[in-house]
Structures are given as C-alpha cells and as structure tokens.
Amino acid sequence: MRVSDLKEARASKAKPLKNVLLAGLYNQPRSGYEMTKWLQVAGQHCWSVEHSSVYPALRALENDGLIKSERLPGTRGPERLIYSVTDAGREELTAWVASGSPRPAIKDEQILRVLCFDLLPRETALQQIRAVRADHQAQLEFFLERQNALTEHQLGPLLVTRRGVLAEQAYIAWCDEVEEMIARRPA
C-alpha cells in the first residue's frame, strides 16, 4: 500500500469521529471529558470511541475552525476547555447530515458465536444466550429511562434513544427465539 493510500484511509476513518463530535457539540457545548461521557450515554448503541481519540480529534476540529474552545472554571477543580461549534462547523455538520449514510456495518461477535452453537452442549449455549439477553434487558431499561426523561423539544436525542429502545427490544426477542430453539434440541 502506498503512503498516500494509508493517509487517505486514516483520513476517512478520522472523519466520522469528527462528525460525531460535531454532532455532540451541536447539541450542547462540552468539555472533552463530557464528550466522552455523552458518547457513552447517547451514542453507545451507534458509535464507540476510545477516550484517547477524543482530544486529538477535538484539537483537529479546532485547528480546522469547525469548533472553538473557551477556558471556564471547573465545577470541582481546575479550569477546563469547553468546546462549541462555530458557524463553519455547523455548515459542515449540516452538509454531512444532508448527505445520508451507507448501510451500517454490523459487527456483533455474539451472533458469530451463535452461528457455531452446534459445537456447544445445550446447557452451555442456553447459559450464554440467557446472559446475553440479561445484558440487553439492562440496556433496554437504561434506554427506556432515558427516553422518559426526554421531550419532543429534544428531538435528535429522543429519536436516537428511541432507536436504541427498538434495537434492544429486537435483540431480546431474538435471544428468546434462540433460547426456545436450543431448548428443543436434544441434550
């Protein structure tokens, strides 16, 4: 692979993170730490990011003039940088939102494991799918609580949370089907 191809591949991977951060800052100015927490809560079912990637991406966005930072007193400690979207950042975010998205890639290791459940004894497979279901049930409860706290005046966060609710409900229904089918299988 050529050096220019590597740079292009890195740039295409970095751009979605920049758009995710712009989206988070569009909703509310935040510090880098708050952005990480926001991603863990609001975006956990649609985007994951390493905490260490947030700050370099924020610096790059600021260098590109898409966000600006302001030093403000911390609530329980030293000053912190609070980032907000600039007019140029809002224009770029609007263009990105308007451009649509390709079909998302699904990477679910659990589904790959289920693909090979025939290798496991029935009880082991049942234990595993029940644990997965319990995890998704807890996530569903989190989303339902969040959904109840949002109003239609917070349309974007409400719609994203609603997607999380539906995704978790579907995953739970799938787990129930898997459990029923495994339970009917000879031991």
Within a domain: 10: yes
pLDDT at 184: 92
User: Which residue segment(s) compose the domain that 43 sits in?
Assistant: 3-98
On whether both 8 and 93 belong to a single domain, the answer is yes
pLDDT at 11: 42
Within a domain: 116: yes
On whether both 116 and 69 belong to a single domain, the answer is no
Residue 163: partners with Cβ closer than 8 Å, 6 or more residues away:
45, 46
Least confident window among 13-22, 38-47, 113-122, 159-168:
38-47
Instruction: Give the mean pLDDT of the chain.
Output: 85
Percent of the chain predicted with pLDDT > 70: 90
Question: pLDDT of 60-75, one tens digit each?
Answer: 999 999 999 999 887 7
Give burial (CB, 10 Å; 0-12/13-18/19+) of 169. middle
Percent of the chain predicted with pLDDT > 90: 47
Within a domain: 104: no
On whether both 49 and 119 belong to a single domain, the answer is no
Within a domain: 76: yes
Question: pLDDT of 117-139, one tens digit each?
Answer: 989 999 999 999 999 999 999 99
d(C-alpha 6, C-alpha 9), whole Å: 5
Select from 47, 72, 98 the last residue of a domain.
Answer: 98
pLDDT at 13 over 80: no
pLDDT at 135: 95
pTM for this structure? 0.66
User: How many domains are contained in the chain?
Assistant: 2
Within a domain: 24: yes
Residue 21's CB is within 10 A of a number of other CB atoms, namely: 28
pLDDT at 155: 87
On whether both 80 and 115 belong to a single domain, the answer is no
CATH number of the domain enclosing 40: 1.10.10.10
On whether both 146 and 71 belong to a single domain, the answer is no
Within a domain: 103: no
pLDDT at 55 over 50: yes
On whether both 7 and 94 belong to a single domain, the answer is yes
